[in-house]
Each structure stands twice: as structure tokens, then as C-alpha cells.
Chain A
Amino acid sequence: MIALAAYRDALSRIEAPPGLAALRRTHLRKFLQAGLPDRQHEDWRYTSLAHLEHMPLHAPLAPTPALLALEAYPGELRAWLDDRPVQQDVPPSAVLGALADVIGAGALPAFGSLAPDSALARLNAALWREGASLRVPAGERLARPVFLRFAAAAADAMLHPRVFVHLAEGAEAILVEHFLGDPGIAYWQNPVTEIALEAGARLTHLRLIEEGPLATHTGLTAVRQERDSRYQALNLTLGGRVTRHELGVTLAGPGAEARLDGVFIADARNSAEQHVRVVHQAPHGTSRTLYRGLADGRGRGVFDARAEVQPHADGSDARQSSRNLLLSPQAEIDVKPQLVIHADDIQCSHGATVGSLDEDALFYLRSRGIDTAGARQLLLEAFVEEALGLLDAAGLRGWLMPRLLASLPRARTVEVRP
């Protein structure tokens, strides 16, 4: 059974920031009343978290000796290991600080208001210990990308990192969140990131999930956009036993624009889930959702997207595209592209496909002297490339591509239908 004591114990050890204790207790009580979401819940029909109930979960007390070497990041790095800060390139500043300090100083009135009232968001709100606050003042543009690295090294750790991002009017930034962990252990990362973009602000947000093969990741990103702001996201899920990312974007001000790209790879016995919710609240908002999914081995990929146009959000333009490849007979892809529309002066569409690599294209490449494995690799690269348009503008291609290519399903001989 679920280790209720583990959650209560984790809560009892949290002190900072002062003033949140009552709120944390309320969140935990509500979470414990409902428990972990199960598959009876429509949004959870493809995911089971039952295995978490059998794990001796705990919040690691002290940072485990670093098992994971820090690689080079092309920007400003802030790193955590088991929810404890391990390295800071730069001292805390008004722009990039430790979340608990900033909240303690009362500087984040919107904190906690963007994330939805879901069970796991509540759990994070109750149990987060460490996190980052990124606040860019009006009109400023951060010269270098900000990297937030959340790593896990303690077996059965339960980690609830929290990030709050606020870009004031006309501010610009590039944010990269990187989640990873020791490949030999089972752990659970349950991060929540809240992002508030004021009028005309621009954020490019890259989120890379490279969890270990035994890990569970249930992340949430909640974005609120004011007038003419632009949010561009690239969500990559490359590893983890059970990974799930919920991305909620609210276009609250007129003319706001969201571009949501993603690539997910589910191989071995992994399940990789993407849940995207875009709410057009104000007129003339634009959203583009473009995801590419691969399922190999016994993997299961899930893409669930909903574009919602609220009454009077006239001139809204919402497009979704989801293309998916099944690379093995035991793999599975589930797609749920939804539109919920309550206005008439709008343009909405979605397209979704599930299939396998084009045999004609493979044959063509082979006739040009490329072997099957090479041809397959080439086609897979081209397939995911469609969703990687943000990389060049953000200057992150060089950092990301080797990781992505290494994660592409290994070339195998193509199974020919009898």
C-alpha cells in the first residue's frame, strides 16, 4: 500500500520558506484524500502509477555523493542532485535565484496560481524543497541560455523540484530544463514549472527528459501568456521507464502566440506520455502544436492534446500535428488530438498519423547504396527533424543533437511482411 508515512515524513522535514507550512499541509491533506490518480481517471487511462505504491519512497536527506559527472552546458548552469543544489556557475542574483529565498522575501505573488489543481501538482506544492526562480526585468534579454539540471542519485528517492519563471514586459530568455538520473536505480521525479509571460515577453523553453531506465517522471509545465507574448517550447522525452509530461498553456492576452514542439521516444518497455492543453482565452491567439513520436521494442507512446477555444476568443487559430512511427510489432502508439470550441470566428485543425517507415523510401535509399541500417537511421532523423525547428534559433543544436541521435532506436533489419 501507498506509504502515506513517507509523504508525511517528507513534509515534516521541510522548513523553508517560512509562511508556506499551512498551505503545504492543506495540499498534502487533499492529495492524500484522493491518492495517486489511477486509470479510472480519463486523463490517466494510459498510465499506471501503481508501482509507486510499492516503492519505499523517501525524500533523500543529504545529497548523495555525485554519481553523475556534470557535463558542459553552453550557458548558465544551476544544478541539483536529489533536490539539493550542487553547483552554481553564478551566485544567486535577482534574475536567477533559489526559489525558497525569493518566496520567503514575498517577491512572487503569482507563485502557485498557475499550476492546476491536480493530484500530482498538489503533491509537488506540498513537498517541494528546492527550485529556481527566474525573473527577467522588463525589456531585458538574457544573453545566455539558463540551464536547470535536476538529477537523481538516491535509490527510491522522491523528488519534487519546482521552478517559477516570470518574464516582465518585453523580456526575453532561453530556458533549458534537464532531468536525468542514475541509470541503476528506481526513483520518482515530480517537477512543476510555472511560467508567467507578461505583454510582449518571449521565452524559448527546452525541456529534456533523460531519466534512467527504471525512473518515473511525472512533470508539469503551466504557462500563462499575456498580450502579444510568445512561448516557444521543445519537449524531448528520450528516457525513463514511465514518463509523463503535462503542458498547459493559457493564452490569456490577445495576440499571444504559442509554439509547442516535441519529440518522444518510447523503447524497451518504456511508456512516454505527452499531454498538451492549450486554452485560447483571448482573441487572436495562435497556437501550433507539432509532435513526433517513436515507439520501439515494447514501448508505448501516448500523445494527448487538447486545444480549447473559449467563448469570445474570436480570431483564434489553433493547429495540431502529431505523427508517429511504430517500429516494432510489440510497440503501441495512442493518440488523442482533441478540439473543444466555443466560438465561431476561429480556425482550428488537427492531423494525426500512426504508421511505420515508408518502405518505398527505404528501398530508394538502398538502391542508392545506403545499407538498411543507414537508410533507416536517415529516415528516423528526418522524421524527428521536423519538430526541431527551434534548435537553431536558440543555438542549442550542437548541444542537443548528439543526445537525441544516441537515443534514436538502434537500426535493425527491417521486418518484411510475408
Chain B
Amino acid sequence: MSNPDLQQQIEREYRWGFVTDIEQEPFPQGLDEAVIRRISAQKGEPAFLLEWRLKAYRHWLTLREPTWATVTHPPIDYQGIQYYAAPRSGNRPKSLAEVDPQLLATYEKLGIPLQEREALAGIAVDAVFDSVSVATTFKDKLETLGILFCSFSEAVREHPELVRQYLGSVVPYSDNYFACLNAAVFSDGSFVYVPKGVRCPMELSTYFRINASNTGQFERTLVIADVGASVSYLEGCTAPRRDENQLHAAVVELIALKDARIKYSTVQNWYPGDAEGQGGIYNFVTKRGDCRGERAHISWTQVETGSAITWKYPGCILRGDGSVGEFYSVALTHHRQQADTGSKMIHIGRDTRSTIVSKGISAGHGSNAYRGLVKVLAGAEGARNHTRCDSLLMGPDCAAHTYPYIEVKNPSARVEHEASASRIGEDQLFYLRSRGLGEEDAINLIVNGFCKEVFKELPMEFAVEAQKLLAVSLEGAVG
């Protein structure tokens, strides 16, 4: 069923693979306490934060890299990584006009012209270029509502009390190997605080971009929605082409207080490596939300098409009575990509509810694993969970795995899990083709239908982007 056009499509170069030539202010490779002190000093951090970093580093030294995920990769040389890289632009620009034009051009190529977005889409973009935020837009508009949306470093300088109160309260530095590493060396990231009763009037968005060669990126994102507040946050990524594997170990912490609502959406399109599995990003991320108050609501939506290895389990701790956790995911692996992803829902409060919808697509030699935990503690009277995970297989060499864990300690809970795995039906394809659709369109239609449940959770333009990404990544995968 293959045809040369499709083959061409699928083998085409990674569109976003280019390198912006900007002078770097490099750190030596390797990691020790001196490097951590230097990162902290460079960023002018308060003592408590340095202390926290060092504690994390010392704990990290006692940990071993986890091996339970169904992924394989050559050993990572943690001493061969440069832990901090900042564009040598001196002081932070005050407005877009002061931003290095070359940086702006980079975003242009990625299709996120800041000004245009500002005008057309009404999105405030906090763009991370390697490790330092270069521009934050719409800040003033948000400030009038009392919403803080800034880089993490800025939050540390301007609002240390908030950072101190919430940092590490959802993902403690001792949580896991990669979260611990992140806590020791995190460079920058985004910080959002939405005060009591405020509904954020626009989607907040960060575009991450890994640029400097051989630089691990360790973002840390902290989103706090105070009582009755609501916010929707978008995260999207593209990375330039590299031959060496790059490590990315981010941490995202969400905190929703009583009646608060946080929606966190991700489109991840980092360089997946070439067809032989050379290069590509290692994406080991810890994401967790904490519903601290009654009726809090946290929703994760992710579309993962990039990265050589994805290792991430966004979860929700449903502590407040009546709180709600949601997880919607599409993960696509092609060529030699490997994904081990899923969700954790911990039901602690009464009448807590959670939903997990996970769609995995494996093509080529891709390997896709869903790994999830639904845990209902004894006090979670009336808890409800519904989990659905489906796998779509394309080609005889791909793999799909499902490893759900369900642990229930309350008899009034109701937990349901269903999973299926199959390939695109020949009959479905035949039917669509008999109606005049090309093979490519037919596959796209089927795949989009397969992912529809997740896409409808994405904000509008992300949904469009996500569909395009899938189409590009999958064309010709069935043959």
C-alpha cells in the first residue's frame, strides 16, 4: 500500500531543525556543588533557594537512575552536560524592541511571531530561549488583575515569599531521580499566580526552545490558582536539530486551592531523532497537580509527537473533597521513538473524580507505553475514576504496552479501566478510499477520529497545530 509520495513525506527533514548562532556564556561541563552555587549566584537567588538546591543535589547523589520504564538508551553522562547556558545579552530587555533581533527571527521561523500573537491571538507568551526568559508580553494587562506571569527567576526576585511557600510542595526535591536533578540545577521556567476569585482572561503560553548544543534544560514551572481562581496554560515546544542526545528534565507543579481551576495543555514536538534513532531529545519530566481545596479542578492535556524518549506521568493529587482531576493524552512514536507515559490519580478526598483518556499511536519501530496509577485511599468515600487507553499500531515492528495499576481501598469507590489495541482496519481504509480519499487523507481521518476525544480538550489553535503535527509525523506510516 505504500507509495513514493508518502515515503517522501515521512522521510522529510525535521522542519524546525535549525540553529540560531548566538554567543553563549558557557558554564563548564559537569556538576558539583560549585556549579550549583554559581548557578544560584548568577541568578542572584536568596539563601533559602541555594540551600534547597544543595539539599537536592546531596540527595541526588544517593539516588540511582530508574530502570523500570520500557525505554532503552545509552547511559547518560551527567558530568558531560553543561548545566547552565544563557544568551549573552546582558540586562533583560524592557520591551520587544530591545529583544535581540536574531532571537525574534528564531521565533519567527517557529511560527510564533510575538507581536502577531499579541495582536491576533491575545496570548501572553513567556518565551524561554535556552535558560533565560527573553520576553514577556501582556504582562501589564495581567498585572492590573493581580495575575503574576513571569519567569521563574523573576518570581524568585520579586515574590520570594510565594516561591518559598509553594516551591517543591507538590513535587518535593526527593520525589524521583530526575525531579531531584532538576531541583538542584533548574535554570528557569515560568511562574503563574492567579489571585483569589480572578479568572485569567487569556490563555497563558510558554514556548520552550532548546538551542545551545549539549545543554541540558531544566525548567521549573509553578502555577498557583488561589481560591476561586481559574487559568489555562499552554506549553509548546520545538527544538533545533542536533545529533547528540539532549537531556531535558523539567518539573511542573500545579496548585489549585478551593474552587480553583487549572488547565495545562502541552504540545511537544522536540526533535525525535532520525529514522535510525540517532539524536533526539530525552524528555524526562515530572508533572503533578495538587487539588488542595474543595472542588478544585486540574486538567492535563498533552500531545506528544517529538522526543527520542518521553518519560512523563502528569498526575493529580485529589486532596480536596469533590475535586476533579483529568488527563487527556495523545502520544505518537515513529521511527525509533520511545514513549513511556501515563497518569497518576491519587484520590484522598471524598467524592473526588478523575478521568484518564490516553491514546497511543505506534508506527515504524516506535514503542509506546501507557503506565498509570489510580489509587483510592480509604477515606475517599464516593470516589470515581474512568480510564480509557487505546493503542493504534502501524507496522509489524512497532510496540504498544499498557501497564495500569489500580489500587482501591474504599468500597464506595467505583473505578473502571478499559484498554484496547489494534491496527487501522483494512476495511476502514478500503471504505474511505472507495469514497475517493487518498491513502494519506484516509489515514489522517482515522487517526484524527482516534484522537478526537483528546483534541477537543485542547485550546483552539493548539488543536489545529496538534492535528498538523500528527499528520506530518504519520504520513505513510501504514504501508
* Residues on A facing B (Cβ under 8 Å): 42, 311-312, 314, 324, 326-356, 415, 417
Contact = CB atoms under 8 A, between A and B. Distances in A.
A328 B411 contact: yes
Interface string B147-159: 0000000000000
A46 B400 CA distance: 25
A344 B393 contact: yes
Contacts of B396: 311-312, 314, 343-345
Nearest to A331: B411
Query: What are the 5 closest A-B residue pairs judged by CB atoms, nearest first?
Result: A344-B393, A326-B411, A335-B406, A349-B420, A339-B402
B414 A355 contact: yes
A65 B414 CA distance: 49
A356 B417 contact: no
B403 to A, nearest CB: 5
Contacts of A328: 411
Interface of B: 68, 376, 378, 381-382, 391, 393-423
Contacts, number: 120
B116 to A, nearest CB: 42
A330 B378 CA distance: 7
Given A338-B401, A346-B393, A332 B418 contact: no
B422 A347 contact: yes
A339 B395 CA distance: 17
A291 B438 CA distance: 44
Nearest to A303: B406
Contact of A349 (B404, B406, B411, B421): B421
Main SS of the interface on chain A?
strand
A354 B413 contact: yes
Main secondary structure of the interface of B (DSSP, over half): strand
Given A311-B397, A326-B413, A349 B408 contact: no
A327 B411 contact: yes
B68 A353 contact: no
30 contacts: A311-B397, A312-B396, A324-B408, A326-B411, A329-B410, A332-B409, A333-B407, A334-B407, A336-B403, A336-B406, A339-B402, A339-B419, A340-B402, A341-B393, A342-B399, A343-B393, A343-B396, A344-B394, A348-B421, A349-B419, A350-B402, A350-B417, A351-B416, A351-B417, A351-B418, A352-B406, A352-B415, A352-B416, A354-B408, A356-B411
Contacts of B419: 337, 339, 349-351
A343 B415 CA distance: 29
A140 B410 CA distance: 50
A337 to B, nearest CB: 6
B187 to A, nearest CB: 34
A253 to B, nearest CB: 20
Q: Most chain-A CB neighbours within 10 Å: which of B378, B382, B405, B411?
A: B411
A332 B407 CA distance: 7
A347 B423 CA distance: 8
Given A334-B407, A338-B403, A348-B422, 6 more contacts: A326-B410, A326-B411, A334-B408, A339-B400, A348-B421, A349-B420
A312 B397 CA distance: 9
B403 A354 contact: no
B145 to A, nearest CB: 41
